[in-house]
Amino acid sequence: MISEYVVFDLPKGITREQAVKDMEAVVPAWRKNPELIRKTFLYDPEANQAAALYTWHNREAAEKAHGEEWRQRLWDIYQTVPTIRYFETPLIADNALGETVREAGKNQ
């Protein structure tokens, strides 16, 4: 598994309500992506940034989802360029599901 951290600046003056509305608007598309395990939306009002932490089956899926088309949409909406980092993800302690998610789908 791979975790991908994506962060970008928001336009000056955007409210939390608008940022969350924009997040909610893209949820259906992310829910349809079979390579995406989980996406956590993040908002930092002090830095005026939005971010997300994604968990993917592999890095190729992450890079495909955040290719040129996605980057252009982000530019068109917010006039910003994201910073993206990738991390190997050997384990996820998921208290909501009550399980430990391991690489290659091995749960306990």
Looking at residue 42, which CATH number applies to its domain?
3.30.70.100
Question: Measured between alpha carbons, how far is 103 from 21 in angstroms, rounded to an integer?
Answer: 33
- Backbone φ, ψ for residue 77 (5° rounding): -85, -45
- Give pLDDT tens digits for 21-54: 999 999 999 999 999 999 999 999 999 999 999 9
pLDDT value of position 104:
66
Residues in a beta bridge with 84: 6
Predicted confidence band at 103 (pLDDT cuts at 50, 70, 90)? confident
Query: For the chain, what is the domain count?
Result: 1
Domain containing 29 equals: 2-105
CA distances from 27 to 12, 21, 104 (A): 24, 10, 25
User: pLDDT tens digits for 85-99?
Assistant: 999 999 999 999 899
User: With pLDDT > 90 as the criterion, what percentage of the chain qualifies?
Assistant: 90
